[in-house]
Amino acid sequence: NLLMDSDIEAALARAAALADAAQGGRIRAFGAHSEEAFAQLDAIRKKQEELCAAHMKLECLPVERSNNTLDEHLKQFEARAVGVDQVFTALDALSADMQKFATRYAAPTTLGHGAAAAAPMSQTQSSSSARASSLADRP
């Protein structure tokens, strides 16, 4: 299994062509749509930040364990319900954008990535929507 000179020369020629393509900007992570894909990834990152902020806001709501009246406890509960709804809304938006991105740009592989792997997100999305609306529907 010795390499022939012609094999080495062919490999060197392919490497040189690849280096030229990389230097010339003809190689892109997502092909011709790289700029669009990176813009969508930036939007996804921003939604992740929004989700984090909504979650932190929810965690920062005061919990008073004093002898508050029932009305005061209900107001605290309502504030938390609104916060939870905001977290689920942000999660739903993030999940939808990630699923769109995966469907458009991820190449199917044997490792479970790509469009086929994005399908379970819809289950997460629908369950979080149902949970958020059940909290919002409470009297």
Question: What are 127's two structure tokens?
Answer: 């369950």
Q: Is the pLDDT of residue 130 over 70?
A: no
- What is the predicted pLDDT for the residue at 92? 93
- Terminal-to-terminal C-alpha distance of the chain: 77
Neighbours of 36 (CB within 10 A): 12
List, for residues 37-77, the tens digit of each pLDDT value.
Answer: 889 999 999 999 999 998 888 888 777 777 778 888 888 88
The pTM of this model reads: 0.54
Q: Is the pLDDT of residue 80 over 80?
A: yes
Q: What is the mean pLDDT of residues 115-127?
A: 47
